[in-house]
Amino acid sequence: MTKKDDGHDMMPVDFSDLSPEKLHELFKTRGLQFDVRSRHPAVQTILQEVQPGDVGVDYDKQFDKDVKGDFDKGFDRDKPA
Amino acid sequence: MDRPPIFHYTLVKLAARCNITCSYCYWFRDPEVYERPPLLTQDVEDAFLRRVAEHWATHRSDSFYVLFHGGEPLLFGKSRFLQFATRLREAADRHRVRLRLSTTTNGLLVDEDWARIFLQQRVSVTLSLDGPPAFNDRRRLTFAGASTYAGVEKALQTLRDGGIEPGVLAVCDPSTSPDELVDHFVTRLRLRWFDVLVPDATRDEKPASIARYYKRLFDIWFDDLARQRVHVRYVENVTRALVGIGSTSESLGYGPIRTLTLNTDGALEPLDVLRIAGTDRVRSEINVRTHSLQDAQSNPAWRRAYEASLQLAVECRECRYRSACGGGFLPSRWSAERGFDNPSAYCADLQEILDHAWSRIHPTLAVNSGLLHDATAVP
């Protein structure tokens, strides 16, 4: 068992029985993502991209985030020239 | 369409021609592109500026993204590029729109002047390069059959000298080693951002398997590159998609395709890569000279692509990776027999890649104990 920053318990979970599709459903219905953490730093960074209040994926918001968030990155769509 | 999207993004074809010949290029797989003006015409540029300003005012846009693309976009020429970018920036300032400009180039025309223009106009740059010379020169050659590698390497240095750090796009060659590609990109070229793209293919083709390549690429990123803060977009998007954040790529994850393409003759078309499925998939009577940007959504080809991106084939709807994969890249779902009503040409590979990535990711996850019961109780 590990501790969250706020002191609540974090339990390792056997997500192999919980498919990504069921995880997606949980995210959509319960906003669970804020309480999922990863020991892998890059996965954790990705999990932190979701802001409190987000439930599921709002594609307008997602696109807006992509546009605004990537202004300083020299990296674009996925087709070569 | 229940809620037509407001465009935030236009892919602008500055050139319908290229100065090199890549064996896999989706654009020139459709010979119809040779019937278009070689470069974006001046009157189309003027019309686009009018229309995009009108779009920003009508829809109260606060941000917008223009990607200069081709063919090879730098064939457009420095003076016209500078003029176009300047006019776009001035219009965006008037409308208080935050404008992102970027370009994807093969790099062969890049020199100090181009680097200055990119820096001055804050144009982010992505170079196309398929890895070390032995990999790159299998498929990315000049019309005379010469290597393009040295030119791209020089472009990378010229851009860096000019204060620009570009991203790099490679196209996957599954017969090559991802370890060698990564070593070249990270150790020799010191890249911090790159992507390895899935080769374009429809269902009517039989593309080589990519599963082994991407599983290894995922492991390299997961075990090594991520800790060095080197970004590999495809595998990061696999991760995003699996943990429910949503991929930021148009090639993976469930979500609408909303790309608007401005062709050199002013035609407002859907996603340009759909040309691999035939000209009819992008054919458009909607032209920026006579129509608003939003009018592109009345084009049947645009609407079909948008709706198909949201209506998955029955096999996909029942798949354990329905959301994470979303049927993959829309052009890869096309077959002459069933249109877009197919899983991806890479369906088996995508399942294998996602299975592998999930097997690496899920043991690292932990959840708030208070939610544990709820999570495992889901049927």
Provide the pLDDT confidence category of residue B365 given band limits of 50, 70 and 90: confident
Is the pLDDT reported for residue A50 higher than 70?
no
CA dihedral for A73, A77, B1, B6, sign (positive or negative): positive
Q: How confident is the model over B274-294, as a mean pLDDT?
A: 96
Measured between beta carbons, the chain B residues lying within 8 angstroms of A70 are 100
Range in B166-175, B262-271, B358-367 the model is least confident about: B358-367
| H helix intervals, chain A | 20-30, 41-47, 59-69
pLDDT for res B203: 97
pLDDT for res B308: 94
Range in A47-61, B95-109, B149-163 the model is least confident about: A47-61
pTM of the model: 0.88
What are the two backbone dihedrals, phi and then psi, of residue B103, each rounded to the nearest 5 degrees?
A: -145, 150
> Is the minimum CB–CB distance between B104 and chain A shorter than 8 Å?
yes
Chain A residue at shortest CA distance from B323:
A21
Chain B residue at shortest CA distance from A72:
B124
Portion of chain B with pLDDT greater than 70, in percent: 96
Please give the order of strands across the beta sheet that includes A2-3: A2-3, A9-12, B365-368, A36-38
Q: How confident is the model over B82-94, as a mean pLDDT?
A: 98
Considering only the beta carbons, identify the residue of A32, A76, A80 that sits closest to B67.
Answer: A76
Query: Is residue B115 within 8 Å of B161, Cβ to Cβ?
Result: yes
Q: Hey, is A10 helix, strand or coil? A: strand
Range in A40-49, B26-35, B135-144, B208-217 the model is least confident about: A40-49
- Cα distances (Å, whole numbers) of residue A49 to B214, B246, B257: 24, 10, 22
Is the pLDDT reported for residue B372 higher than 90?
no
Provide the pLDDT confidence category of residue A79 given band limits of 50, 70 and 90: low
B346/B201 Cα distance (integer angstroms):
8
B23/B239 Cα distance (integer angstroms):
30
B181/B130 Cα distance (integer angstroms):
8
Q: Hey, is B301 helix, strand or coil? A: helix
Query: Is residue B305 within 8 Å of B330, Cβ to Cβ?
Result: yes
Across the interface, whether the CB atoms of B250 and A78 are under 8 A apart is answered: yes
What value does the mean pLDDT of chain B take?
93
What are the pLDDT digits (tens) for A4-32?
Answer: 444 445 666 666 667 777 777 766 666 65
What are the two backbone dihedrals, phi and then psi, of residue B66, each rounded to the nearest 5 degrees?
A: -115, 125
Across the interface, whether the CB atoms of B361 and A22 are under 8 A apart is answered: no
Across the interface, whether the CB atoms of B239 and A67 are under 8 A apart is answered: no
